[in-house]
Amino acid sequence: MKSNQQLTPQGTSRRRLLTGWMDRSKRQPEPLTLPAVARPPQAVPEPLFSALCDGCGACVNHCPYGLLHVDQGKAALNIDFTECDVCRKCTSACQTGALREQMPCDTLLRPQISLSCLGRQDSCRMCTINCPQQALAFGISAAGDRQLQCDSERCNGCGLCKLSCFHGHISLSPLGEKSLPEQA
């Protein structure tokens, strides 16, 4: 019995050690997932936006172009028929703090070009001509073919490039996640 009592504390200690490792691995932060829908230009980072936006629709009612709608109880941006000119009317209408003046005017949507783009053959440049931020340019890739290049620092995700492509070769995809601006 005495030898059994001596083993119990060691067995418990090993069990606690293994349980501690298992618990820590379960507590690892989940990878950041991008929202399934685009958010208005001055939206706060997604976790905070999800907590603050109550789906009241004030921003939707103030968007002069009808680009905003409520999707799953949260404000969402849909650029299919006109671009977002970042007029900031949605931000001024937001009473919950999900849209803030301090946030950069960026939807975080960036152009993705299909392989059948006519600009790759040097016969179309409508997206680069119409980009108000001058964030798009065609360049030669390492493989020697023409590629649309987007300067993410200049691009604000307005969507005019997508709408300028008469052939539908440009789609918009989320770039990443916003962060709160640093306080001065």
Instruction: Tell me if 155 is assigned to some domain.
Output: yes
Contact 144, 4 (CB under 8 A): no
The predicted pLDDT at position 141 comes to 80
Residues 152 and 169 in one domain: yes
Domain region containing 74: 33-104
Read off the amino acid at residue 132. P
For residue 85, the Cα-to-chain-centroid distance in whole angstroms is: 18
pLDDT of residue 85: 94
- 182 in any annotated domain: no
Last residue of a domain, one of 104, 119, 146: 104
Per-chain mean pLDDT for the chain: 84
The predicted model scores a pTM of 0.74
Backbone angles phi, psi at 70, to 5 degrees: -100, 120
- CA 149, 155, 158, 163: dihedral to nearest 10 degrees? -20
- Pick the range with the lowest mean pLDDT from 18-32, 70-84, 133-147, 155-169: 18-32
Whole-angstrom Cα distance, residue 50 to residue 35?
Answer: 10
Residue 184 banded pLDDT, cuts 50, 70, 90: very low
Residues 76 and 117 in one domain: no
User: Mapped to the 3 state alphabet, what secondary structure does 67-116 carry?
Assistant: CEEEECCEEEECCCCCCCCCCCHHHHHCCCCCECCCCCCCCCEEEEECCC
Query: Is residue 14 in some structural domain?
Result: no
Neighbours of 99 (CB within 10 A): 25
- Give the residue, 82 or 182, on which the prediction is more confident: 82
- pLDDT score of 153: 92
The CATH number linked to 162 is 3.30.70.3270
CA nearest neighbour of 110 among 148, 140, 144, 141: 148
Task: Determine whether 108 is exposed, middle or buried from the number of CB atoms within 10 Å of its CB (0-12, 13-18, 19+).
Answer: buried
Report if residue 15 sits inside a domain.
Answer: no
| pLDDT for residue 84 | 96
Q: Is 38 helix (H, G, I), strand (E, B) or coil?
A: strand
Number of domains in the chain: 2
pLDDT digits (tens, 9 = 90+) for 2-53: 544 454 455 556 666 556 655 555 555 544 555 568 999 999 999 999 999 9
pLDDT of amino acid 18:
58
